[in-house]
Chains A and B, each alone.
Chain A
Amino acid sequence: MTVQNQTARTPRLPDWLRIALIGRNFKFTLTRIVVLVVTCFVVFRFILLPIRIGEISMLPTYKERSVNLVNRLAYLRHEPQRGDVVAIRLAGIHLMYVKRIIGLPGETVAFVNGRVLIDGEVLDEPYEKFDCGWNLPPVKLGTNEYYVVGDNRIMPAKYHTKGVASRDRIVGKLLL
C-alpha cells in the first residue's frame, strides 16, 4: 500500500526515455561511460594526439585548418624516415610545427635553385608541387638530428620555418 502511494506521487519517466537516457541497466551504462571516457582520455592524450593545422606551410599536402592525428607511437620500433610528416614540439605539445623530414642523421642537406640536395644528390620530392628558388648553404646533420621543412616553399626562404630538429623534439608522425 505504501509503495503504491509513493509511486503515485513520484512522476515517472516514460520507459523509452528512461532507456534512452540511462539504459536498461544503470550500472552497466555507468560502467560503459566510464570505460569510454578513460579510453578516449588515454588514446587521445598519449597515443593519437588530435591537432588542427593552423598555417599554410604544408600546402598542398595538408590544407590550413584541417584536422589530423599525431601517432605518438609511430617511432617506437623504428626511427623517423625520410618523407615522413611529423609533429615537432616547441616548449610543449599544445602548439607544434608540422613538417616533412627530408634529411636524416649524418647527411648533408642543401638547397640549390629550389632543389634539395642530400649529400650532393638531388632528392626526388613528388609531394613538392610549387617551384621555389631557394638557395641555402649545406648543413651537416648530427647523430640525432633531422632536417625538416614544409611542402609549401613558394615564399622566400627566410619566411619559412624550417631547419634542424633534434630527435627528442619529434612527437610523432601524422596519421592521415
Chain B
Amino acid sequence: MKIVFRFVLAAALVAFGVWMWTVLFSGPEKAIRKQLVGIARTVSFSPNQGSLSRLAGAQNLGFFFSTNIEVDINVPGRVQQSLMSQSEIIQAAVAARSAVRGLTVKFPDINITVAPDKQSAVADLTVEVNISGERDPIVQEMKFTLQKTGGKWLVTRIETVRTLSILNFELRRAPSIV
C-alpha cells in the first residue's frame, strides 16, 4: 500500500511540476491564443448592448491589429471584403454593429504555428459567426498572420482558407474543356 501511495504521490508531483512549468514559462502560443480569444470577444456584441458601448467595442479592435493590416475575406454567398488598414477595420466594425442586431464570434479550433525566431506566427482557425435573427451560423476556416510588435502579438493579415476548394474551379478546369 505504501508503494502505491508513493507512486500516486510521485505522479501527482510530476503533474504539478508540469503544470507549474506551463504556467511560469508559457510560450508565445498561449499569448497568441489569448489574443485571438480577445478578438472574438471584442468583435461580438449582444442585441441589448447600447450604441456607445458598441462603438467603444469597435474602437477596441484597433488594439489587436497592426496599422497596416490586410484583410481578404471571401465567404461564398455571404461576405466578400478586402480591407487594407486598421482604420478600415474599425469602420467596418462600426458599420456591422449598426447593420445587425447582435453578433457572436467564436473560434472553436485554433492551430498555431510559431516561426523559429518567435517573432511571427500563423494561426489556422475555424470561425463560427452567429448573427442575431439568422437561423444558420456562418462557418469558415481562416488564417491569421501575427507579428510580435513591442511585446504584443498583433494581427497583420487575415485571409479565408478554402476548405473545399470549389472556387478554384476556374483555375482547375479539366483539360478537355479549357
Residues of A within 8 A of B (CB): 54-56, 88, 90-95, 97, 99, 108, 110, 136-140, 148, 158-159, 161-165, 169
B 138-178 binary contact with A (CB < 8 Å = 1; else 0) = 01110000000000000000000111111111101111110
Instruction: Give the interface size class of chain B.
Output: 20 to 34
Smallest CB gap from A94: residue in B: B108
Considering residues B137, B141, B162, B175, which has the most beta carbons from chain A within 10 angstroms of its beta carbon?
B141
Which of B20-28, B61-69, B94-102, B120-128 lies at the interface?
A: B120-128
Q: Which of A91, A99, A159 contacts B126 (CB 8 A)?
A: A91
B contact residues vs A (CB 8 Å cutoff): 76-77, 108-111, 124-126, 128, 136-137, 139-141, 161-170, 172-177
Contact assessment for B174 and A91 in the assembled complex, using a CB-CB cutoff below 8 Å: no
Inside 8 A of A95's CB, which chain B residues have their CB?
Answer: 108-109, 126, 128, 139
Whether the Cβ atoms of A164 and B166 lie closer than 8 Å is yes
Q: Is the interface of B mostly helix, strand, loop or mixed?
A: mixed
Q: Which residue of chain A has the shortest Cβ distance to B162 in the bound complex?
A: A163
Cβ–Cβ < 8 Å partners of B141 in chain A:
90-91
Q: Given A140-B175, A158-B76, verify A92-B163 contact (CB < 8 Å).
A: no
Tell me the minimal C-beta distance from A109 to chain B in angstroms: 9
The answer on a CB contact under 8 Å between B174 and A92 is no
B contact residues around A93 at 8 Å (CB)? 109
Contact A164 B126 (CB under 8 A): no
Closest residue of chain B to A56 (Cβ to Cβ) is: B136
- Are the C-beta atoms of B109 and A94 separated by less than 8 Å? yes
